[in-house]
Amino acid sequence: MTSAEQLLTTRAPKLRKALLSWYQKHQRDLPWRTAASPYRTVVSELMLQQTQVATVLPYFNRWVQRWPNFSALAQADADEVLAAWAGLGYYRRARLLHALAKEVSLLKVLPSTAQAWLQFTGVGPYTAAAIASISFKDPVAVVDGNVVRVLSRLAGLKTSFVSGAHAVKRVTPLANVLVDPREPGNYNQAIMELGSQVCRKAAPACTACPLKTFCASKGTQAIGIPKILRAKGRREIVHRVLALRDGKVLLRRHPKYARRLAGIAELPLAESLKFKPSLPAYAVRRRTVVQTTYEEHIHVPASQLKVVLSDGLIWVSLAELPFMAISGPHLRWLGEFVRRGKLV
Q: Are 148 and 74 in a shared domain?
A: yes
Clarify whether residues 120 and 241 are in a common domain: no
> What CATH number does residue 99 fall under?
1.10.340.30
Are residue 120 and residue 31 in the same domain, yes or no?
A: yes
Residue 257, pLDDT > 70, answer no
The answer on 257 and 165 residing in a single domain is: no
Please give the average per-residue pLDDT across 183-191, as a whole number.
96
d(CA 263, CA 78): 9
Rounded to the nearest integer, the mean pLDDT of the chain is 90
Q: Is residue 336 predicted with pLDDT exceeding 90?
A: no
**Domain identity same for 122 and 257:** no
Identify whether residues 256 and 114 lie together within a single domain. Answer: no
Residue 31 burial by CB count (10 A; 0-12/13-18/19+): exposed, middle or buried? middle
252 shares a domain with 188: no
Q: According to the model, what pLDDT value does residue 110 have?
A: 93
CA 226 to chain centre: 21
| CATH code at position 333 | 3.90.79.10
User: Is the model's pTM score more than 0.85?
Assistant: no
Residue-number span of the structural domain to which 324 is assigned: 234-340
Shared domain check, 192 and 96: yes
Question: Considering 203, 227, 251, which residue would you say is the last residue of a domain?
Answer: 227
Domain count, the chain: 2
Among candidate residues 205, 227, 249, the one where a domain is terminated: 227
CB 266 within 8 A of CB 258: no
Q: Answer whether residue 342 shows pLDDT above 70.
A: no
Q: Do 47 and 196 sit in the same domain of this protein?
A: yes
**Span 105-132, mean pLDDT?**
92
How many CB atoms sit inside 10 A of residue 195's CB? 21
Same domain, 127 and 274: no
Same domain, 243 and 187: no
Residues with a known catalytic role: 45
Distance CA 232, CA 212 (A): 34
Question: 328 and 201 in one domain?
Answer: no
Q: What is the pLDDT, as a whole number, of residue 36?
A: 81
Instruction: Name the domain boundary from 227, 248, 266.
Output: 227
Interval 30-59: pLDDT, tens: 999 888 889 999 999 899 887 889 999 999
Q: What is the mean pLDDT of residues 84-88?
A: 85
**Distance between CA 178 and CA 139 in Å, rounded?**
10
